[in-house]
Amino acid sequence: MSPCFMSDPGTILIFLMLVIGALLTVSFVNQQQMRSRVINQKVAQLKRRVGELDEMASSLESLVESLAIPKTILDEMLEVLNTIDKLEPNNPFCESTRISTEQRIEDLMDATQSHATYRAQPSDAAIARTKYLLNEAAMIIRKRQVAGKLEIVEMEAFINELAWASLMVVVITHVVEGHKAVNRGDVLKAYAFYRKAQQVLIKGSINEERRHRMIKELSEIMGNKRKTLSKDLMPETQHNPSADSADLIRPEDAEAAAKLIQEHSQPNP
């Protein structure tokens, strides 16, 4: 570079302005890219949350009696969709999901729609997942009450029902397995499942009349005084044993009988 160029203040100023302009442009582009990445990450996170709430609401429909509970979860889902829409306007995911969610809310509030309760789970992993979803639903309901979106009385009713559902997921699963065992003719295993269900109820802390009724009726089942629980306690009747199914045998009675048979089968000295 010539000395003349270096000594020209006007040229140096223009050069510095070009450098500063280039740096500002690069900084602006970087900020825009960073903002875009942050928004994309946030939208992806919110979409995952929408999926979780969708699963939660779908699961709750068969676990609780009050359909206002899954409706509340769908209300939360709509709010998440609104947040996505603000971050990323005209997102096709938001529009299609909002339409289907609003239709689901309308269906839930339709008094003419049938509502089937089924709380039995196919595995221990399914029980754990279902109890997790119930707990998450309770947290959302508490959060919405704090935000003024639910009355405290309504929140307490929802929380109590979710707690009952969490207990029933375990109890009904054991009872259904007991019914299946009876239908297979495995009365010893059936007795064990019924006793397990009763023990879960006895350890439960929910002080409700229906809990005490279930404990009593399970005692009657194990005592061969009845075959099934009352339908208002257990509407899941798909696996109910027939009236003429085999009577249950207590494991201790079976052991005593086996011991007695063994003693009598031994040859006399």
Q: What angle do CA 259, 265, 251 make, to 5 degrees?
A: 20
Q: What pLDDT, on the 0 to 100 scale, is given for residue 79?
A: 96
Q: What pLDDT, on the 0 to 100 scale, is given for residue 7?
A: 54
Q: What pLDDT, on the 0 to 100 scale, is given for residue 90?
A: 85
Own/partner long-range contacts of 191-199 (Cβ < 8 Å, ≥24 apart)? 191/222, 191/248, 191/249, 191/250, 191/251, 192/251, 194/218, 194/221, 194/222, 194/248, 195/222, 197/170, 197/171, 197/172, 198/222
213, 233 Cβ separation under 8 angstroms: yes
Q: What pLDDT, on the 0 to 100 scale, is given for residue 211?
A: 96
d(CA 153, CA 47): 31
Q: Where are the domains of the chain?
A: 32-109, 125-269
Per-10-residue mean pLDDT of the chain, 269 residues long, equals: 56 75 70 73 92 96 95 97 91 91 92 84 97 98 97 97 98 98 94 97 92 97 96 96 88 53 48
Measure CA of the first residue to CA of the last residue in the chain; give whole Å.
124
pTM as predicted? 0.81
Q: What pLDDT, on the 0 to 100 scale, is given for residue 264?
A: 44
Q: What pLDDT, on the 0 to 100 scale, is given for residue 40?
A: 81
pLDDT over 90 percentage in the chain: 67
CA 254 to chain centroid: 40
Other beta carbons within 10 angstroms of residue 240's beta carbon come to 18
